[in-house]
A and B are shown apart, each in its own frame.
Chain A
């Protein structure tokens, strides 16, 4: 029994979440999780605590949830990733331990997704807006990743001398190979849904507004083959293993790198953090536009030359600066 004597679905759905909305479909044994983190749609400490609680509840009721689906309730934003102003605070306080603790909390969420098949749960995520840094990292471990066509994503951390440390390397290498991981992490570029699909990071791209139907399609097509699919996904983990230890080791490295950031780096991080807030406040422009402005000559040399190594694809920040 959990939560004041309740168990099963009532326990799962009965908690008073502030940043999450849960829906249950008994027909498909599907738990739908919608995120709406206030004031900024990012992985704040409070939001991660709630997410962890949901996942703990699923684990505490084995066999109950067969499909876990995650979406965002915030228009135009899936997730901005890490709480950048918290990073600035902790780095300025020289608080290595709290930064590491934050990173480890992220890893625990990522690890749950990575081991979901073992728990009998198939996971699907729909991205309908911007997803940056940790937001993209949180998407990659899902079994099925759906993007609506206007969604855009990337790892901008290198712009402020950091790197994405919560699974980006591991999951990008597994899904798209070393070259793509290298390109994405080291360039800081942003990518369209189609570009991510071509690189193998996204499983399905649908037109804007068709994401919901795509979720239904994916879940209904997996459902009759669920046991086989989950068994195959578990075997996939053996074929291309990602270990908790390696994720933790990278978080530790990320922490050390974060502690070396200079005031200039932190100012850039602050600019992005403020841009996140602007978008949360309803402004047209947000972090994505700010990243465009943060173009650094070294980072974008390849873009300007038009040589991306992906045929005639001359996209990225520069292209997105044009009116769409």
Chain B
């Protein structure tokens, strides 16, 4: 049986390519964003990051003993991601959004749809689906995050990591995460989990593309 990681790459390749070739994404990665749009982007991102661990926890609680290696991987991942919403909040402060405004911000329909889907599959579907969310986020961060952070820094004349600490650091961290994710994904041999992760990846790429476009 083919290891799952290459299978996942192949089956979701078009969704990844659709993300990277969205004109809005393309422009953002090449030229950064005006400050208003970047604020809005970070406000949407805050919501996604804030819900990352609760979604993952919901999934972990339903993962069967037969997939304990997935559980352990997710425990570690949750530990590493814990508190990162504060990084987004700090970046928002650096571009002029107070923590109060961040907390009060109502996310757009696409962000709600993505969070809603991720909770729903964690709760009602195959809990391994959460790995699809993680794969999509890590691909985006590790492949596109670095250039995006550099472009934003340049376009907004930000100093050091101020304003881009979350994106910039995840671009680097997720390179390590990606290698770990590949290892754990390759342990999956059941087609139900594999199919669920593929579906989740496609949905996550789709909504993240829409979120980019909406800001």
CB-based contact B13/A101 at 8 Å: no
A277 and B26 in contact (CB under 8 A), knowing A39-B18, A98-B6, A270-B147? Answer: yes
Interface mask (B178-205 → A, CB under 8 Å = 1, otherwise 0): 1101100000000000000000000000
CB of A93 within 8 A of CB of B5, answer yes
Q: From B37-45, B57-65, B86-94, B138-146, give the one contacting chain A.
A: B138-146
- A93 touches which one: B18, B20, B30, B182 (CB < 8 A)? B182
A278 located at the interface, meaning its Cβ lies under 8 Å from any Cβ of chain B in the complex = yes
Q: Within 8 Å CB of A92, what residues of B? A: 142-143, 175, 178-179
User: Using a CB-CB cutoff of 8 Å, which residues 7-33 of chain B contact chain A?
Assistant: 9-10, 13-14, 16-18, 20-21, 23, 26, 29-30
B106 close to chain A: CB less than 8 A: no
Is A240 engaged at the interface, CB distance under 8 Å to the other chain?
no
Residue of A nearest to B7 (CB): A98
Q: Report Cα–Cα, A267/B143, bound state, in Å.
A: 9
Task: Let me know if B30 and A89 touch, CB within 8 A.
Answer: no
Interface residues on B, range: 20 to 34
Judged by a CB distance under 8 angstroms, whether A127 is at the interface is no
A281 cross-chain contacts in B, Cβ below 8 A: 21, 23, 26
Contacts of A196 in B (CB 8 A): none
How many interface residues does A have (CB within 8 Å)?
A: 28
CB-CB < 8 A to B17: which residues of A?
39-40, 44, 83, 85
B residues less than 8 Å from A39 (CB atoms): 17-18, 20-21
The residue on A at minimum CB distance from B179 is A94
Within 8 A of B (CB), among A61-100: 83, 85-86, 88-90, 92-95, 97-98
Chain A, 179-218, CB within 8 A of any chain B CB = none
Residues of A within 8 A of B26 (CB): 274, 277-278, 281
The answer to the question of B34 belonging to the interface, with a C-beta cut-off of 8 Å to chain A, is no
Q: Quick one: which of A45, A46, A98, A274 contacts B30, CB cutoff 8 A?
A: A274
Residue of A whose beta carbon sits closest to that of B30: A274
**Known interface pairs A93-B179, A95-B6; A270-B13 also in contact (CB < 8 Å):** no
* B3 interface residue (CB < 8 Å to A): yes
Q: How far is the CA of A241 from the CA of B33 in the complex (A)?
A: 54
Q: Is there contact, CB below 8 Å, between A267 and B147?
A: yes
Known: A267-B147, A277-B26. A89 touches B6 (CB 8 A): no
Q: Which B140-189 residues have C-beta < 8 A from chain A?
A: 142-144, 146-147, 175, 178-179, 181-182
Out of A83, A86, A101, A274, name the residue touching B29 (CB < 8 Å). A274
Contacting pair A86 B13 (CB below 8 A): yes
Most buried by A among B9, B18, B30, B147: B9
Contact with B along A257-288 (1 / 0, CB 8 A): 00000010001001101100110110000000
Residues of chain A contacted by B181 (CB below 8 angstroms):
93
Q: Which of A44, A94, A270, A277 contacts B143 (CB 8 A)?
A: A270
Q: A98-B9, A274-B147, A277-B26 are in contact. List 6 more A-B contacts (CB 8 A).
A: A86-B16, A90-B9, A93-B179, A94-B182, A95-B182, A277-B21
CB-CB nearest 8 A-B residue pairs? A39-B21, A98-B6, A94-B179, A93-B178, A93-B182, A92-B175, A92-B142, A45-B13
